[in-house]
Structure formats: structure tokens, C-alpha cells
Structure 1
Amino acid sequence: MPALIFDCDGVLADTERNGHLPAFNRTFAEFGVPVQWSDDDYREKVLIGGGKERMASILTPEFVAANGLPADADGQRELLAEWHKRKTAIYTELVASGALPPRPGIARIAQEAADADWTLAVASTSAEPSVRAVLEHAVGQELAARFAVFAGDIVPHKKPAPDIYLLALDRLGIGPDDGVVVEDSGNGVRAAVGAGLRTIVTVSAYTADEDFDGASLVVTSLGDPGEPAEVLAAPAGVEPGALVELRDIGAVMHRPRP
């Protein structure tokens, strides 16, 4: 049975600018941390896989000393866990409020895949509660229940390492020739390609200028009626029309890897 595996952030919804960034900044403010990331700041932070890892990037020796934060590894680990727990709660509230609309084509293609008995999954470095909240908002609770979710700290190394996709292949019981990944970032492409998977990219707010080397197809989105997709690159020779259809994804799966 073929599998369609989605990344979460930037793929199911354009979550970074309207969800994760304000959630990080609200968390810093609540904990009295003198950091507020701008849009340009966060454009750099999204290159770091994982929310706790992004937060950890502010913990330079100088910043820690100036703000009376724990300097030892255990203390910082506990602090980051506390910050990230609160950040996840804020982010989940934003998702529930409807502040993060699904990206074009997600609900459509997920339903088409489900109707064709494809296996559906999400593989993400984000916290599992965040991923499940976005997934349910994007495709609805009933269809979301059809998805396997692989998320958070369940693998040793986050993207661009292939660990999360290797885990997904193992748990789904499929080989890399039996699945297609939908990603939005260069790190995500490297992770999926590193696991041997063919990859479709739907570029998002922070990723349009990234390197998608190894992807089979790069589009602006999967497309919906009134919101057409545009093909940006088609290294595997598959060029959808205004909508990326399940047959296009199946064609990508059966073409040689770029």
C-alpha cells in the first residue's frame, strides 16, 4: 500500500510566521526573558530543527550570565523543557483559534489518498500535541484519525538528519520506494532524501529561496479550486496542472529519483 507522508509546519499550514513565532515571543515575555524575535530573526531560526533547539540558541554564556539563568546542562535542560511546554500550549491555542488556516490542497489530497486506501502519516520535529492540533485543524478530526503521527523527540537527531523518516518507514512497514513525502524546507528535503524517499516541496513563507536539491517536484502549493498551484521545478519530469492530484504524486513515486 503506498504512503503519503506530510511534514507539519509549513506543509499542513503555514505555521511558522503566524503560529510558532508569536508563541515563542509570548513565552519569552511570560518568563521575563529579554528576547523578541523579529521576522528576519526567525527566518534564521527556522533553519534549526526543533523548538527546544531554537530556544537553546539564545543560551550563550554571556546571555545566561547576564540574565541569571542556569549555566549547567541539567538546569538548562529543565528550563528549556518548561519554556517549551508553555510555548506548545500557546501555539495549540493559536491553532484552535483558527489563526493558522490550512495550506491549499491539504484536505483535498488527504481525502483523495484516504479514498484510494493510501497510508497517511505526518513526520515532524515539532512537539506531538502541536502536530496533532494542526493536523486536526487542517483535515478534520475524522480524517486526522487515519494518520500515523511521528513527532517530537522520538528520534536521536532532528532534520536534516533522516532519522524521523527512517522511523516512519520502519513503523509503517514500507520501503522508500513505496512512499512520497511532502516537505517545505531544504532541511526537510535532505532528511527525506537521506531516507531514500521521493519528495515534493510546497514552498512556504520562510523557505522559498532554500536549496531543494534532490526533490522530485517543487510547487507553490498543492492547489485548490481558486488557488492554483504553480510548478517551480520538476526534476523528475512530473508537471501537474492547477491542482496537484494523487495521480501526480503516484507518478513521482514511480519516477527515478533526481
Structure 2
Amino acid sequence: MKRGLIFDCDGVIVDVEIQRHLRAFNQVWAELGIPWRWSDAEYQRALRVSGGRERLNLLRDDPRFRAVFDVPADPAEWQRLIAAWHRRKTQIYVESLKAGNVTPRPGVRRLAEDALRAGWRVAVASAGARDSVRTLVEAALGAELASRLTLITGESVRRKKPAPDVFDAAATAIGVRPERCVVIEDTRNGLLSARASGMTCVVTPTRLTVHDDFSEAALVISGLGDPGLPPEVALGGRASHGNPPYLTLEALRRLSETAGAARPDVRSLLR
């Protein structure tokens, strides 16, 4: 019976939020002469909302932003404005990816290749724009591997995470029932989205999300890891705490099979 492995994109495949996304947003306002920028802390709070346009929409009710920018009274005009900002931000972001120096987080390439060899269906499901997601996946994993992955983006669904739409769409696209899919996420919104879709979720948080509540996850682990690298650390979830070297495809299979069961010992799941 078929199984599915679904990666979130930003933060899971590559940790790009501060180094690339935030810089791209701030460059847009600099180009337009708008005296505004998100700090790291402000952007971390904005990340609680999935989707770049949705984050921009938060500015309409931000009194500090309204103090430096004349926000249009017409909602339609405001939506046109942030859509233009988001298009330019996406251009800047994509250009930065194409310039190089895109390194995937450890374990992503290994698990994707292992899953494909084992006959699993592999997808990337993200709230991001399709051009951004495609460019990142190709830059991080290479064109050949990227071509074998199914991409589902925020442009493919009506509701963003934490709604289950993007993972529902991914399950349909790869032809695997949700309960036989394992999701790798890095945010609480992503975790809630995967769980709402009925999928097993493993969380590998970044420094921006490590303190979020991931109590619904099957496993929270510092990273996916790779042979020869320092061992990863299990931080929470149903699996007991420990210091597993790296996560394996077999571990993901067993985690999905124990969903809803008693907490397994992480040492029995991880190499």
C-alpha cells in the first residue's frame, strides 16, 4: 500500500526566513522609499500567519506602520497595493536563490531519495508562492530530484495553514490517503494543518519556532540529521526523549503506524 512523505518548504528544506524572506520584504520598502522595516522579532511574530500576502495584510492594522504610511481607506486598493509589494518581494527572493549559496538542512535530500527508492510518493506542500517554492526546491535539492517531487503551494488552495487544505491537496495529488502520509514541518500552523488533514507530523523547528507549542506532534526533533554529523536531539512529541543520531525512513514509517498509540521509545524508532 502506498505511503507519502510531505515536506514543508521554508524552514524545513532550507532555513530561509530571516536570511532571505525578511531581507526581501525589507528591500521592497527600501526601494519604495517607505520608512519601514520588520525587525527579526517583528517578523517572527508575523510568521504566526501563513502566507506572504497575509503577513503584509497585518500592516493595515499596525499603528506604527500607519504612522509612516498612508494606508488606503479602500480595502480593494489596499489589496492591490500589497499584491504588488508581494510580487516584487517574490522577485527579490527568487533572484537571491538563483544567485546560489542555498544549502538544504541535513537529512532532507537523504530522506527524499530514500523515500523515492522505497516507492513512497514525495511532495512539498507550502503556503508560499509557486515560483518561490519551485526555485527553492531546485536550488536546494537539484533539478533532477526536484523534478520527482510533487509541488503544492499556497496558490493551489483557498485557505492557508493552519487549515488542512494544502495537505489535503497534496494527498490527492500523490494519490495517498492522509493517514498514510508523514509530514515534516517547522511551525505550529504547519503542525495543526497536517493534523487537521489526518496526517502524522514530525517537527524540526528553527530558531524562530523552537519555543512554539508542538504538543500534537508525533515527534519534535532538532533536525533530520545525516550519518557522520553530530546527533540530533529529540525535543518532544509522543516519542520519548533521547539523542538519536538521525531520522530514518523506517522511523517515519513506524511513527505513522503508532499514531494514536502509546508513546514509543525514540531509541526504538531512530538509528
What is the TM-score normalised by the length of structure 1?
0.93
Deviation at 1:238, TM superposition (A): 9.6
1:216 to 215, 218, 227: 218
Query: What are the superposed Cα offsets for residues 130-184 of structure 1, whole Å, 9 maximum, x if unpaired?
Result: 1111111221110100111110232221111111111212222221221100000
2:254 is the alignment partner of 1:251 = yes
Query: What are the superposed Cα offsets for residues 106-135 of structure 1, whole Å, 9 maximum, x if unpaired?
Result: 111111111112111011101111111111
Please name the residue that 1:97 is paired with. Answer: 99
SS at match of 2:201: strand
For these two proteins, the number of residue pairs brought into alignment is: 258
What is the rounded CA distance, in whole Å, between the counterparts of 1:21 and 1:65 in structure 2? 21
Please name the residue that 1:31 is paired with. Answer: 32
Please name the residue that 1:142 is paired with. Answer: 144
What is the rounded CA distance, in whole Å, between the counterparts of 2:160 and 2:96 in structure 1? 24
SS at match of 2:60: coil
Query: What are the superposed Cα offsets for residues 41-97 of structure 1, whole Å, 9 maximum, x if unpaired?
Result: 111011111100111111238655863343212211211111111101111122222
Structure 1: segments with no counterpart, 5+ residues = none
Please name the residue that 1:229 is paired with. Answer: 232
Please name the residue that 1:156 is paired with. Answer: 158
Please name the residue that 1:176 is paired with. Answer: 178
SS at match of 1:58: helix
Deviation at 1:253, TM superposition (A): 1.5
CA spacing shift, 1:137–1:98, aligned 2, 3 Å: same
What is the rounded CA distance, in whole Å, between the counterparts of 2:155 and 2:170 in structure 1? 14
Query: What are the superposed Cα offsets for residues 15-58 of structure 1, whole Å, 9 maximum, x if unpaired?
Result: 11111110110011112222111111111011111100111111
What is the rounded CA distance, in whole Å, between the counterparts of 2:163 and 2:31 in structure 1? 32
What is the rounded CA distance, in whole Å, between the counterparts of 1:65 and 1:230 in structure 2? 44
| Contact kept in structure 1, 2:181 and 2:199, CA below 8 Å | yes
Structure 2: segments with no counterpart, 5+ residues = 262-271
Please name the residue that 1:129 is paired with. Answer: 131
What is the TM-score normalised by the length of structure 2?
0.89
What is the rounded CA distance, in whole Å, between the counterparts of 2:233 and 2:240 in structure 1? 15
CA RMSD of aligned residues (A): 1.9
